[in-house]
Chains A and B, each alone.
Chain A
Amino acid sequence: MYKIVDARTVGLNIRQLVIEAPRIARKYQPGQFVILRLHNKGERIPLTIKSSDPEAGTVTIVVQSVGKTTAMLSCLETGDSILDIVGPLGRPSEIEKFGTVAILAGSVGTAMALPTASALKQAGNHVVFVEGARSKEMVIFEDELRDASSEAYVMTDDGSYGEHGLVTKKLNDMLDAGRKIDFVLAVGPVPMMRAVAKITTPLGIKTMVSLNSIMVDGTGMCGGCRVLMGNQSKFACVDGPEFDASQVNFEVLMQRNTMYRDKECASLKAFNEQKDTQMAQLRADLAEEAEHHA
Chain B
Amino acid sequence: MPDMNPAAPAKNDLPLKERMKIARTRMPEQDPAVRACNFLEVNLGLDPAAAANEATRCISCPKPGCMMQCPVNVKIDQVIALVYAGEYLKAAAKMREDNILPAITGRVCPQETQCEGGCALGKKGNSVAIGYIERFIADYERISGQLGVPPMAPPSGKKVAIVGSGPTALSAAGDLIQKGHRVRVFEALHELGGVLVYGIPEFRLPKDIVRLEIDNLRKMGVEFETNVVVGKSVTIDGLMNEEGYSAVLVATGAGLPQFLNVPGEHLNGVYSANEFLTRVNLMRAYKPDEYDEPVYDCRGKDVVVVGGGNVAMDAVRTSKRLGARTATIVYRRSEVELPARREEVHHAHEEGVEFRMLSNPVELLGDEKGWLTGVRCIRMELGEPDVKGRRRPIEVKGSEFDIPAQVAVIGIGTTSNPLIQSTTPDLKTNKWGYIIVDPETARTSKRGVFAGGDIVTGSATVILAMGAGRKAAKGIDDYLRTGEWA
Report A's interface with B, CB cutoff 8 A. Answer: 23-24, 27, 37, 41-44, 68-69, 83-89, 216-224, 226, 228, 233, 235, 238, 249, 251-252, 255-256, 258-260, 263-264, 267
Contact = CB atoms under 8 A, between A and B. Distances in A.
A267 B259 CA distance: 31
A43 B417 contact: no
A42 B292 contact: yes
Contacts of B227: 84-86
A134 to B, nearest CB: 26
Nearest to A224: B275
Nearest to A251: B370
Given A43-B292, A85-B227, 11 more contacts: A86-B227, A86-B228, A216-B278, A219-B419, A221-B254, A223-B256, A223-B272, A224-B272, A235-B256, A255-B370, A263-B294
B255 A221 contact: yes
B232 interface: yes
B229 A222 contact: no
A87 B229 contact: yes
B279 A220 contact: no
A89 B229 contact: yes
Nearest to B291: A41
B279 A216 contact: yes
Nearest to A84: B190
Most buried by A among B266, B271, B369: B266
Interface in B276-300: 278-279, 283-284, 290-294, 296
A242 to B, nearest CB: 16
A222 B265 contact: no
B232 A87 contact: yes
Given A69-B292, A226-B266, A43 B233 contact: no
Main secondary structure of the interface of A (DSSP, over half): mixed
Nearest to A37: B190
Contacts of B268: 255-256, 258-259
A255 B266 CA distance: 9
B39 to A, nearest CB: 16
Closest 9 CB pairs of A and B: A255-B370, A222-B275, A86-B227, A223-B272, A84-B190, A223-B257, A43-B292, A224-B275, A23-B233
B290 to A, nearest CB: 6
B274 interface: yes
A44 B364 CA distance: 28
Main secondary structure of the interface of B (DSSP, over half): loop
Contact of B274 (A69, A85, A87, A223): A223
Contact of B233 (A87, A222, A223, A264): A87
A113 B232 CA distance: 21
B229 A219 contact: yes
18 contacts: A23-B233, A43-B291, A44-B283, A86-B227, A216-B283, A217-B189, A219-B417, A220-B419, A222-B274, A222-B278, A223-B274, A226-B265, A226-B266, A252-B370, A255-B370, A256-B370, A259-B269, A263-B294
Contacts of B254: 221
Contacts of A260: 294
A84 B189 CA distance: 9
A260 B295 CA distance: 8
A240 B117 CA distance: 46
Interface string B204-231: 0000000000000000000000111100
A24 B233 contact: yes
B168 to A, nearest CB: 16
A88 B198 CA distance: 22
Given A216-B279, A221-B274, A259 B256 contact: no
A88 B233 contact: yes
A179 B345 CA distance: 66
B234 interface: yes
A249 B370 CA distance: 13
A43 B292 CA distance: 5
Contacts of B10: none
B226 A84 contact: yes
Contacts of B274: 221-223
B190 A83 contact: yes
Interface string B239-276: 00000000000000011110101000111110110110
Given A27-B233, A256-B268, A238 B283 contact: no
A43 B288 CA distance: 11
A43 B419 contact: no
A258 B233 CA distance: 31
Contacts of A249: 266
Nearest to B225: A23
B188 interface: yes
B272 A222 contact: yes
A84 B268 CA distance: 28
Nearest to B199: A221
